[in-house]
Structure 1
Amino acid sequence: MRQLVEIQVKPAAIKDLTNGKPLLLKDAVEMPEVSIEEGSLLHLVDKNGGYIGTGYYGAQNKGIGWVLTRKEKEKIDKNFFAKKLKAAAQKRADFYESEDTTAFRVFNGEGDGIGGLTIDFFNGFYMVSWYSEGIYSFREDIYQALNEVVNTRGVYEKLRFDTNGQYVDQDDYVSGEKGEFPLIVLENGMNFAVDLNDGAMTGIFLDQRNVRKALRDKYAEDKTVLNTFSYTGAFSVAAALGGAAGTTSVDLAKRSLPKTIEQFAVNGIDYESQDIKVMNVFDYFSYAARHGLKFDVVVLDPPSFARTKKMTFSTAKDYPKLLKDALKITNEGGIIIASTNNASFNMKKFKTFIDKAFTEANKRYKILEEHQLPEDFTVPHNFPEFNYLKVVFIKVMD
């Protein structure tokens, strides 16, 4: 029997929750003396016992749980999840019908009404990501609902929680057909190789789909392109398919080399005609400056936080320095694609980092276009802070 706990919401937090904010922060509620099990249902009330909503308890870095419904009589069961999944799938009808894109997000957590849960589609296969033990406790109902709502070729899952804050490495197969990996998916006509059973990552970040398309279609032709923090080289593939004069992919992870070669290969691109470097991006900036290397387009898409033996890097603190380093090896009239998925600051703040870097480098710039999460990454209405992705195409003037 699932635990049901009555939780009093503090007055300062009531307005946001009644206006649709889905996230429960610890300091927004009066925590009871009793211990609460992960996955417990939370009956949220004001100080007079008036009903506000029903949520679940699931501790993750964002908070202690999520609001699921504001209808007091609504049951949180398989039918509830099926209704949410069906509505989400219907919103993505155009993606399901697309002939040139076969990888997209079907369910985007709080944006589709269930925080802590995302579901991605990869050419018939579904990958379910669980972000707390709390939401994972609903696993049986959610998988039954998923199989009722969509035709699944096969299902895989990622457990993105752990008592030590580390990814749970396991066999990620759940049900249906076992995939033969790499699985080839299409994105705006480009091929990408993915593996749904190879640790935390799949081989492609789906939220950058529109950015890759813009690079390919508008900025790559006859240009030299540097792709930093390149992961599996998806931006490099987009640039090469857009007619780039050459691409350079730089990432510290050793497996980035075979993975990038694979992405080029599945698109019929001779990887030997492209440059792939396994090294620290900041060391590469120094190397490029020493050798007089300059690029027409530079892609900056760093992790929010990274630590190496030599240094730590945080986008919230170090992005202006990263931009200044990139400016030293960007041609005049060149383009810097500055990106971050750090949810702790918004687009307005991100633009102050850009302005700071260019001012300190005594350079002028022009913002050509901006991107945030694509349309399949639904975010909660009225709460833009959940739109974590920020991408700015910047032209270097002089």
Structure 2
Amino acid sequence: MTQTIALQIKNPFADQLKKGYPLISKDAVDASQLPKEEGALLRLLDSHQRFLGLGYYGIQNKGIGWMLTTDVNEKIDKAFFIRKFTKALTNRQNFFDDPNTTAFRIFNGEGDGIGGITIDYFDSYYLVSWYSAGIYLWKDMIYEALAETVNFTAIYEKKRFDLKGQYMEQDDFVMGDPGEFPIIILENGMSYAVHLNDGAMTGIFLDQRDVRLAIREHYADHRNMLNTFSYTGAFSVAAILGGAIKTTSVDVAKRSLAKTIEQFSVNNIDYESQDIKVMDVFNYFKYAQRHHLKYDLVVLDPPSFARTKERTFSTAKDYPKLLMDTITITEKNGIIVASTNNASFGMKKFKSFIDQAFKETHTRYKIVEEYSLPKDFRVPREYPEFNYLKVVFIKKLD
């Protein structure tokens, strides 16, 4: 039976939780009160011992757990998870009804009422991602609830929490009929190859769906496109199908070459007619400048943090410099798609990075449009800080 611990919440954090804030901050509690093991239920009380809600203990980023319910009578059992999953599925019915898109998020953590877990749908295959050891200890009950809620070919999982140096056998398959990968999913009519049993990544970031569509429909036609930090070339696929004259995909990971060829091939794109470069993006900028290369569509979507043999990169401190390098190889009236998934700063800060880069290069610019998370990546309406994705389409005027 799961342990339940009474935990007093400090002010003003108690007021936040009363208003529906889902994350239990590590600063909200006396650390000595915490249980020894993650996964315990937390009966949250204010300084007057009044009930605030029921959560679970699971360390994740700045939090030590997530609120599950503010109903003093609600039990955290299989029926609870079934109710949450059923509501989430109902909210995504439009996606299930769209024959041109067969991959999307069906459960987005705190946005659907259970922080620390996400569930993605890939054409009858489901992928559960776990972000803390605390919620993972509930996995048996959660998988039972999911299996009773959805029709599935197979369920896979990714453990994305800190294993603290411990070896844990990584078997991504959970239940059902194991798939033969890649499976080919559709996104707005475009095909993408997906691997659910091949390490942490699947081959596509579903949160960029709207951005890929915008590139295909409005920005790619007759453009020469550079796709930096290209991963599997998903943005390049969208550009080519949108009429791009040429694409160049650049990523330092050796796997990116085969992965990009795979994505081109499933869309019947001649990969030999496109450039795929396995090299450090910063080195490629220098290469492009030496060879006087210019692009009129550049996608700039770096990881929040990366380390190579040559350098360490963090979007929180290095994005302006990265954007300055991009500006120098972008044609006049060209479009830069500046993107980050770093949750440590908001859109206002991100725009200050953009403004800094253009001012330091003495270049005028115009923000054409902005994107954040798509509708299936639900976030609590009152707490936009959980909407981590920031994408800005910028027109270089000089």
Q: In which range does the TM-score fall when normalised by the shorter chain?
A: over 0.9
Asked whether 1:376 is paired with 2:353, we answer no
- AA aligned to 1:227 is N
Partner of 2:203: 203
SS of match in other structure, 1:119? strand
Partner of 2:339: 339
- The answer to whether the Cα contact below 8 Å between 1:6 and 1:43 also exists between their aligned partners in 2 is yes
Partner of 2:130: 130
Deviation at 1:165, TM superposition (A): 7.2
- AA aligned to 2:280 is N
Asked whether 1:269 is paired with 2:269, we answer yes
Aligned runs of 1:140-219 on 2, under 5 Å?
140-164=140-164, 170-219=170-219
Cα RMSD after superposing both structures = 1.2
Q: 1:168 to 1:92 in 2, by over 3 A?
A: farther
- AA aligned to 2:90 is Q
Aligned runs of 1:15-30 on 2, under 5 Å?
15-30=15-30
SS of match in other structure, 1:11? coil
Partner of 1:228: 228
Superposed CA deviations along residues 108-128 of structure 1, whole A, max 9, x for unmatched, are 000000000000000100000
Q: Distance in 1 between matches of 2:200 and 2:168?
A: 8
- AA aligned to 2:314 is S
Asked whether 1:247 is paired with 2:247, we answer yes
> Which stretch has the larger CA shift, 107-116 or 132-141?
132-141
Q: Distance in 1 between matches of 2:57 and 2:227?
A: 40
SS of match in other structure, 1:56? strand
SS of match in other structure, 1:115? coil
- Gap regions ≥5 residues in structure 2: none
Deviation at 1:86, TM superposition (A): 0.4
Asked whether 1:366 is paired with 2:355, we answer no
Q: Distance in 1 between matches of 2:162 and 2:31?
A: 23
Q: Distance in 2 between matches of 1:90 and 1:229?
A: 35
Partner of 1:278: 278
Q: Distance in 1 between matches of 2:108 and 2:283?
A: 36
Partner of 2:50: 50
Q: 1:204 to 1:38 in 2, by over 3 A?
A: same
Normalising by structure 2, what TM-score? 0.98
Partner of 1:307: 307
SS of match in other structure, 2:313? strand
State the aligned residue count: 398
Q: 1:245 to 1:80 in 2, by over 3 A?
A: same
Aligned runs of 1:86-125 on 2, under 5 Å?
86-125=86-125
Superposed CA deviations along residues 226-266 of structure 1, whole A, max 9, x for unmatched, are 00000000000000000100000000000000000000000
Q: Identity of aligned pairs, percent? A: 65
Deviation at 1:167, TM superposition (A): 10
> Which stretch has the larger CA shift, 145-154 or 113-122?
145-154
Aligned runs of 1:63-82 on 2, under 5 Å?
63-82=63-82
- AA aligned to 2:112 is D
Q: Distance in 2 between matches of 1:375 and 1:168?
A: 34
SS of match in other structure, 2:217? helix
- The answer to whether the Cα contact below 8 Å between 1:295 and 1:331 also exists between their aligned partners in 2 is yes
Runs of 4+ in 1 over 2 A off after TM superposition: 30-36, 162-169
- AA aligned to 1:89 is L
Partner of 1:318: 318
Superposed CA deviations along residues 41-89 of structure 1, whole A, max 9, x for unmatched, are 0000011110001000011223111000000110000000000000000
- The answer to whether the Cα contact below 8 Å between 1:193 and 1:262 also exists between their aligned partners in 2 is yes
Superposed CA deviations along residues 247-305 of structure 1, whole A, max 9, x for unmatched, are 00000000000000000000000000000000000000000000010001000000001
Normalising by structure 1, what TM-score? 0.98
- The answer to whether the Cα contact below 8 Å between 1:216 and 1:239 also exists between their aligned partners in 2 is yes
Partner of 1:7: 7
> Which stretch has the larger CA shift, 6-15 or 182-191?
6-15
Deviation at 1:177, TM superposition (A): 1.2
Asked whether 1:62 is paired with 2:62, we answer yes
SS of match in other structure, 2:12? helix
Partner of 1:287: 287
Deviation at 1:392, TM superposition (A): 0.1
Deviation at 1:166, TM superposition (A): 9.2
- Gap regions ≥5 residues in structure 1: none
- AA aligned to 2:194 is V
- The answer to whether the Cα contact below 8 Å between 1:7 and 1:32 also exists between their aligned partners in 2 is no
SS of match in other structure, 2:227? strand
Partner of 1:40: 40
- The answer to whether the Cα contact below 8 Å between 1:106 and 1:120 also exists between their aligned partners in 2 is yes
Deviation at 1:33, TM superposition (A): 4.4
- AA aligned to 1:196 is L
Deviation at 1:338, TM superposition (A): 0.1
- AA aligned to 1:95 is F
- The answer to whether the Cα contact below 8 Å between 1:167 and 1:200 also exists between their aligned partners in 2 is no
Q: 1:54 to 1:315 in 2, by over 3 A?
A: same
- The answer to whether the Cα contact below 8 Å between 1:7 and 1:31 also exists between their aligned partners in 2 is no
